[in-house]
Amino acid sequence: MSVIDKLATSLGIRNETPNQELARTIVRENDRDAVKELVAHLSDRNKNLQSDCIKTLYEIGYLQPKLIAPYYDTFLTFIRGKNNRLAWGAMTALDSLTLEQPQALYKALPEIIAAANIGSVITRDHAVGIMVKLCSIKEYAANAFQLLLEQLETCPANQLPMYAEQAIPIINTTNVKKFSTILKKRLADIDRESKKKRIEKVIKKISAIGKY
pLDDT along the chain (212 residues), means of 10: 90 91 97 97 94 97 98 96 94 98 98 95 97 97 96 94 97 94 94 94 88 51
Predicted local distance difference test score (pLDDT) of residue 210: 63
Q: Are 16 and 8 in contact (CB under 8 A)?
A: yes
Predicted local distance difference test score (pLDDT) of residue 211: 55
80 phi/psi in degrees, rounded to 5: -115, 20
Q: How far apart are CA 27 and CA 24, in angstroms?
A: 5
- Where helices occur in the chain by DSSP H, the ranges are 8-11, 17-29, 32-40, 47-63, 72-78, 84-97, 102-107, 109-118, 121-135, 138-154, 160-167, 176-186, 193-206
What's the pTM value of the predicted model, to 2 decimals? Answer: 0.94
Q: Which residues of 21-34 are buried (b: 16+ CB within 10 A; e: fewer)?
A: ebbeebbeeebeeb
Q: How far is C-alpha 154 from the chain's CA centre?
A: 18
